[in-house]
Structure 1
Amino acid sequence: MPHQDTPLVLERLLRLRDRREPLVAQIAEWVGSGIIEGRLQPGQDLNSVELSNRFETSRTPVREALMLLEQEGLVEMKARRRPRVASPSLQDIRDIYQVRRQLLAMLAGLLVERATEDELTELRGRVESMRDLADKEDVDAYFWSHVQLQERMTEIVGNTTLKQILDSLALRTLMLRHLSLTRTGRLAYSVDDQERLIQAYEERDGELASALIAGATVRALRAVEEQLEQDTARTRPPGRAKRGRTS
């Protein structure tokens, strides 16, 4: 089942309130959250008949929902082939994180300049709640809390252009961000990063905050790379030679 915060995030990013057909929004939310939280794996087929049966509808709303997710990079739909969960290449993933690192560094610097003391207190409270979730090893709850934290940061900064660019990457990165947190020990590392960031914000050290959030983004990418490498090794036929890792 999707986490309770999932509908709020997907509703905004997919603009589901604008959909005239509620069933399209419901299907898009179910499939989208399944992809992001790893219940639907990259490359996995999405059977329109099975989805139609699940939601007790015709295939038309299903196709509309999948087309909506295709526009956001979560689903691949090719002629004469069944729709499937998108499977970005390693280079695509690295490119996304390279851009995201720069955008988040800018966000952190602006937050130091623009956040009020009350807003920083609010952000600290959110991070303290995330520490509790990390201690409980609740990956899904921690992940969505982290998503909400960064969304709140963009609201505080108030740079509409920056927010729009981050939103354009958001759905393509959510699956990867969730994947990075499934690595052993990653929750603890992640929340440590958030606590160091909050301290830098409170000390009004924009240069440090930008460096910290950039470093955290690089570590998240490494976790994704390691997980993908592990998944590839698990599915590699026995006896097949392992290729060297690209830089």
Structure 2
Amino acid sequence: MTSEESLANARNTIRRIIAGHDDGPSLVTQIAVDVGGEIIEDMIPPGHDLNSVELARRYNTSRTPIREALMLLEKEGLVDIPPRRRPRSALHDIQTINEIYRTRATLLGLISADVATGATEEEVAGLRDQVGRMEEACRAGDIKAYVWANIDFHDLNARASNNQTAKRIVESLLLRTISLRRWSLSQPGRMEQSLDDHRRLIKAYETHDDQLATALVRANHLAALRQLERLLATPDTRFRRTDA
């Protein structure tokens, strides 16, 4: 997957998520989509200042739509707006990452249990096909393609669960995790382990084993969390929040 294709996926995902709670002008949405996509794709690195004057010049507009767009992104965890300071792309500390991953592990466990007990054969077949796309990306060593195929898998998974409450909460955390997932999956052996977990999850769905499905999803997310904790213990602290 090219960088341009990955950026397009990021923008489309942001547009889908913020569409439900952005009643403002379309320019506000477009700014949020563009800036948010660049944050997710690390074109704007974590902790980078977001200059509203420069952004206003870029979009040939006043600073008001810029502020509104950045506030939308703040709600989604992509931007920090400290008091009396310039907005910046978000930096997550290990406590925040821990909370996000443990919350996702619990909710996705519930979702997967519901899929195991209630999904149709057609829905499971669709999930199996999506794992096939993840497998193609893994064989190619294409982390960007794998991450987006994984995101599509979990979107289908949530739909198949018919658990709308869990789906809404998981989706509210989605944008905060994309860069983290890509970082984690870039580590040696992590993408292959993730793929194996998803293959086993499909088998649990086929046998309607809700307990195994829950255990697999929780184990996968907690393994990713442990990987991130190890990475954050090294000098590369690109996701650590700082008030300096």
TM-score, normalisation: structure 1: 0.86
CA distance in 1, matches of 2:37, 2:85: 23
Aligned alpha-carbon RMSD (Å): 2.1
Change (3 A) 1:233 1:7: closer
Match of 1:24 in 2: 28
Report what 2:50 is aligned to. 46
> 1:126-137 alignment to 2 at 5 Å?
126-137=130-141
Work out the CA distance in 2 between the residues paired with 1:128 and 1:225. 29
1:233 shift after superposition:
6.9
Q: Which residue of 1 aligns with 2:72?
A: 68
How many pairs align? 234
Equivalent-residue separation in structure 2 for 1:115 and 1:9 (angstroms): 25
Confirm whether residue 156 of structure 1 aligns to residue 160 of structure 2: yes
Deviation for aligned residue 1:98: 1.4
Once residues 144 and 184 of structure 2 are traced to their aligned partners in structure 1, the CA distance between those partners, rounded to angstroms, is: 12
- Aligned-pair distance for 1:146? 0.9
* 5+ residue gaps, structure 2: 239-244
What secondary structure, in the 3-state scheme, does the structure 2 residue paired with 1:49 have?
A: helix
Once the 2 structures are TM-superposed, how far is the Cα of residue 66 of structure 1 from its aligned partner?
Answer: 0.5
Query: What runs of 5+ residues in structure 1 fail to find an aligned partner?
Result: 235-247
Cα distance, 1:134–1:57 mapped onto 2, change above 3 Å: farther
CA contact (8 A) 2:32 2:73 kept: yes
Does structure 2 conserve the Cα–Cα contact (< 8 Å) formed by 1:108 and 1:209?
yes
Contact 1:154 1:163 in 2 (8 A): yes
Identity %: 42
Aligned counterpart, 1:241:
none
2:200 to 182, 196, 208: 196
The 8 Å contact of residues 46 and 91 in structure 2, kept in 1 or not, is answered as yes
Q: Is the 8 A contact 1:183 1:227 kept in 2?
A: no
Equivalent residues of 1:11, 1:17 under 8 A apart: no
The answer on whether the counterparts of 1:38 and 1:179 sit within 8 Å (CA) in structure 2 is: no
Q: 2:234 aligns with which of 230, 236, 239?
A: 230
